[in-house]
Structure 1
Amino acid sequence: MKTALITGASRGIGRAVADALAADHHLLIGGRDADAVAQVAASLPSAEPFVVELTDDDAVAAAVAGIGTLDVLVHSAGVGPLGTIAETDPETWRQALEANLIAPANLTRLLLPALRTAHGHVVFVNSGAGFTARAGWGAYAASKFGLRALADSLRAEQAGVVKVTSVHPGRTATDMQRAVRAHEGAAYDPEEFLSPAAVAATVRLALDAPANASIDTLSIRPV
Structure 2
Amino acid sequence: MATHFVTGATSGIGEVLATLLHERGDDLVLLARNEARAALLRERFAGCRTVVADLAGAVDLPDLPERLDSVVHSAGVVDVAPVADSSPGSLARTVTVDLVAPMLLTRALLEPVRQGGGTHVFVNSGSGLRANPGWASYNAAKFGLRGFADALRQEEAEYGVRVSTVYPGRTATRMQEQVHAQEGAAYDEAAWIRPETVAEAIVRIIDLGPDATVPDLVIRPR
In 2, Cα distance between the equivalents of 1:69 and 1:126?
24
Conservation of the 8 A alpha-carbon contact between 2:131 and 2:139 = yes
Indicate conservation of the 8 Å contact 1:30/1:37, yes or no.
yes
Q: Which runs of 5+ in 2 are unaligned?
A: none
8 Å contact kept, 2:98–2:142: yes
Contact 1:72–1:121 at 8 Å: present in 2 too? yes
Which residue type is aligned with residue 5 of structure 1?
A: F
Residue 3 of structure 2 corresponds to residue 3 of structure 1 = yes
Q: Show CA shifts across 1:89-127 (max 9, x none).
A: 332221111100000000100110111111111100000
- Assess if the C-alpha contact under 8 Å between 2:80 and 2:183 holds in 1: no
Aligned partners of 1:183 and 1:66: how far apart in 2?
Answer: 38
Aligned to 1:112: 110
> What residue is the counterpart of 2:45 in the other structure?
44
- Aligned pairs, number: 220
5 Å matches for 1:24-63?
Answer: 24-44=25-45, 46-57=47-58, 60-61=59-60, 63=61
Alpha-carbon distance in structure 2 between the residues aligned to 1:44 and 1:89 = 37
Distance in 2 (alpha carbons) for counterparts of 1:54 and 1:85: 22
Question: Match for 2:68 among 60, 70, 95?
Answer: 70
2:152 maps to: 154
Structure 1: 5+ residue stretches without partners:
none
Of all paired residues, the percent bearing the same amino acid is: 40
Matches of 1:154 and 1:100 in 2, distance apart?
Answer: 16
Structure 1 partner of 2:204: 205
Equivalent pair of 2:56/2:93 in contact (CA under 8 Å): no
Other-structure match for 1:176: 175
Deviates more, 1:42-51 or 1:201-210: 42-51
The structural deviation recorded for 1:195 is 1.3
| Secondary structure at 2:157 match in 1 | coil
* C-alpha separation in 1, matches of 2:43 and 2:81: 38
Q: Which string of whole-angstrom CA distances, capped at 9 and with x for unpartnered residues, describes residues 117-159 of structure 1? A: 1111110000000001111111111100001011001001101
Aligned Cα RMSD in Å? 1.5
Query: What amino acid sits opposite 1:47 in the alignment?
Result: C
Paired letter, 1:143 = A
SS in structure 2 opposite 1:158? helix
CA deviations 1:54-107 (Å, max 9, x no partner) are 2333xx33x343322211100011111111122223322211111000000001
Contact 2:120 2:163 in 1 (8 A): yes
- SS of the residue corresponding to residue 105 of structure 1 reads helix
Equivalent-residue separation in structure 1 for 2:138 and 2:171 (angstroms) = 15
Deviation at 1:46, TM superposition (A): 4.0
**Letter in structure 2 aligned against 1:186:** A
**How far apart are residue 33 of structure 1 and its match?**
4.2
